Structure 1
């Protein structure tokens, strides 16, 4: 019996939210909307600033890319008539990425292309193909599935416009690391326009494979010459991929910040409308309470007419 009375007493008690006046609940909701509006406005300012910075850097990166492409063109002219007698079996993948984010799917595109090449055998890849990664973003993405394939990783490259010294340092460490490979597949982002890019692969032959190729057998060259040519061609290809990937990254960051700014503006408009409606409702409720209170007091018993 006592338990039934306690349950009935608890049921009869109003909930905390129901006990609050309507104006108090409206004020709490308005306060939350006001704080959220302030937060979204700050985000809009940040994205707008980052968009302006990326727009300024994009023109500079495109000019550097046009110059750097000449290195890749020179490589293609050297290797276009070189046909090795045997198809290179063991391939080393060099993934060109960066350490920075907030630029859309620029890093995941090269990671997916590398993962597809290793898993399906595309571009001559295999499950035991060694991988060299430039940039922490692709390293983090590929480490989930192919960490055992990692041979070398690099970071802090391309924070500004990449230089040939950066590419030469990467190529030198790859050669000195003693990695076994017949050819190198460089996976990078190819610049199509300021709004689009796509993953691409460029191949560079090893010194031993280059020496046995039919196009080089016609010339009498010393071993050091062929070796130096292969290393210099690798540095050229890496530099062309680095500088084109950098232009793609700046372009993608500008587009991402532009979309983020537009989304923030739309969210501000929606929140401002909700805030105005809530404020109008709160004012209307207060007016109703004031008018209702005056009418009740006027018609109360003992009130002079």
Structure 2
């Protein structure tokens, strides 16, 4: 039996129209705020990218190779904020795929969103989680503190990867891993002798490179998030505008129908008299 759709009254349409208009004002304001943050985030990201790529260049020239991990660490970089499309799901999907292929993986999360998504599937693998990361612009100091905290907490690993959203453009991002190398792996690099690095300095370099990579990942993820939020708010504003147009047409038709019915009643009454 087919359900009958109740026709909205003029008053109900008017209230819904007002509600959608208020939502459109909010999403438009959020889009403008996100647009401003995107510009700052991309400038900050370029600096962080230069730091990160310098470390990667060293490892490439030293021919540092990833070991066969017995004890692996995975760091998932996200945030505490929502209303930015599927950017957090991108990280959790990438990490879940990696966890499905590897055993003995320790998990560290940056941000409440990815923590909530991964805790359903990998609760037993969590070793540490950070919240309120990069509330404004990411800084190298904050990344260094995160790396220092992990070291002081005694989180040890043979191999490590940071999963973050790589910023391709304002409309494109992808989940990408960055490898972190331990002191022993760096020391075993075939071309490390060219740099004449003292063994005592390798531990400091390991910690510096870890903080460097975290800064790069957080900055790229933040820029991707702000771009995704701007796109999400733009789409939400467009949808609200379309709904306003449809509700306005429906409201006008309802008013015209009500006026026509009243005129018919008046004319019918006058004719009867």
Task: Give the deviation of 1:173 after TM superposition.
Answer: 1.2
Q: CA distance change for structure 1 residues 86 and 218 in 2, over 3 Å: closer, same or farther?
A: farther
1:66 aligned residue: 46
1:234-273 matches, within 5 Å, as: 234-273=210-249
Counterpart Cα distance in 2 of 1:85 and 1:232: 18
Residue 278, structure 1, aligned to residue 259, structure 2 = no
Residue 215, structure 1, aligned to residue 196, structure 2 = no
Task: Give the deviation of 1:220 after TM superposition.
Answer: 6.5
Q: Structure 2 residue aligned with 1:109, among 86, 90, 93?
A: 90
Q: CA distance change for structure 1 residues 141 and 176 in 2, over 3 Å: closer, same or farther?
A: same
Counterpart Cα distance in 1 of 2:12 and 2:65: 69
Residue 49, structure 1, aligned to residue 49, structure 2 = no
2:3 aligned residue: none
Q: Deviations over 1:77-107 (max 9, x none)?
A: 1211333484333221011101111111111
Counterpart Cα distance in 1 of 2:36 and 2:48: 19
1:100 aligned residue: 81
Higher relative contact order (CA 8 A, sep 6+): 2
Whichever of the two has the greater Rg, that structure is 1
Counterpart Cα distance in 1 of 2:66 and 2:195: 16
What TM-score do the two structures reach when normalised by structure 1? 0.83
Task: Give the deviation of 1:61 after TM superposition.
Answer: 0.9
2:68 aligned residue: 87
Task: Give the deviation of 1:277 after TM superposition.
Answer: 0.6
Q: Deviations over 1:5-60 (max 9, x none)?
A: xxxxxxxxxxxxxxxxxxxx98x711110000000000000011011111111111
Long gaps (5+) in structure 1: 1-24, 299-305
Task: Give the deviation of 1:180 after TM superposition.
Answer: 3.0
Long gaps (5+) in structure 2: 1-5
Tell me the C-alpha RMSD between the 2 structures: 1.8
1:178 aligned residue: 154
1:21 aligned residue: none
